Chain A
């Protein structure tokens, strides 16, 4: 087993903490290596968010031993903290003991109704039980108070998409675009929902916005190509649609196809672009 590069590992874990990416296998592996190889003392004050991160990742991959160890260390330091209790609740959730988790969250919310993290866990519990409409209404109530919480809007959008309520999911994405206007991903998702709903001109505009924010974004270029084709088929085209389609095709060929070394893939893409 190679020696663990502690500096690189702790930097990587910090980046995962900041972005919130769900790379649980990697995080659980790094966390267990750091603890097992005895590097935990080197983390000093960073060790408490490290344990929190390790618990979530460990529960996600089913490594209950690691989760228990981290929870024990956290309990020893923070004996009466609602954050640690929340982690205990999450551990019950992962085991499947939903009633026990519910009891813990109820107790915390009785003490402090405005505890944001635990309110979110309540909603996640409803999702876990399969009560999608209750989860949606709880989340909507939560968003009435905290309307600038981007994460909650993302979750609501996913819930609406899972029940095929595309207009409402589009509304969530509009809120996200208002909150984070420079993020190309919301425009991309919005464009794809508009395409699904059949509003090709709006989808085209949004795909162009993605390219504006992130040059040569492959998915957006495919989107432009498809939208332009649909608009030309419907006969609603104006002067720019043809030009956009050609531009998109040319850029896809330039970026993806010419960089690809496998000839059969190049052939497939070229055929698709001339037909679609």
Chain B
């Protein structure tokens, strides 16, 4: 949910930032044309720029998603031995689980097919 809000906010913020940049350019070229150079930017453009920066900042932070725990210890706590002590590329299939499990799954399939 917050990721979509984040995306929306950052889109809006960046649009207004681009808009304020374009208005600055327009204003400066207008000042040039009217020979009134160095008269400073109108307060609206500055305000638009700063506010759009803040909005896009908030939006980008929300886009980043959930934070993870910084302590390695807390991440490791969730790992069981099964998840860590495995060598999946060396897996071999000559164990008796094959017969036991295939019978079990066959029964399951029969029960929900009927």
Contacts and interface: CB of A to CB of B under 8 A. Distances in A.
A152 B87 contact: yes
Interface in B66-114: 72-73, 76-77, 79, 81-94, 97-99, 101-102, 105, 112
Given A60-B91, A124-B92, 7 more contacts: A21-B82, A22-B82, A22-B86, A61-B98, A61-B105, A94-B93, A184-B76
Contact of B92 (A24, A62, A93, A154): A93
A61 B97 contact: yes
A154 B72 CA distance: 21
Given A25-B101, A61-B102, A185 B92 contact: no
Nearest to A22: B86
A63 B92 contact: no
> What 5 pairs across the A-B complex have the smallest Cβ distances?
A62-B102, A62-B98, A94-B93, A61-B101, A155-B87
A42 interface: no
Contacts of B82: 21-23
Contact of A155 (B81, B90, B93, B112): B90
Chain A interface, DSSP helix/strand/loop, else mixed: helix
Contacts of B83: 19-21
A227 interface: no
A106 B52 CA distance: 62
21 contacts: A19-B79, A20-B88, A21-B83, A21-B86, A22-B91, A59-B93, A62-B99, A62-B102, A63-B105, A93-B92, A93-B93, A94-B93, A120-B89, A121-B89, A124-B92, A151-B88, A155-B87, A158-B87, A185-B85, A214-B73, A214-B76
B interface secondary structure, majority: helix
A232 interface: no
Given A28-B105, A94-B93, A151 B73 contact: no
B102 A213 contact: no
A231 interface: no
Interface residues of B, number: 26
A93 B72 CA distance: 39
Contact of A154 (B86, B93, B101): B86
Nearest to A60: B93
A184 B97 CA distance: 29
A218 B98 CA distance: 32
Contacts of B99: 62
A136 interface: no
A183 interface: yes
Contacts of A201: none
Contacts of A117: 89
Nearest to A156: B87
A215 to B, nearest CB: 7
Interface in A99-130: 117, 120-121, 123-124, 127-128
Contacts of A158: 87
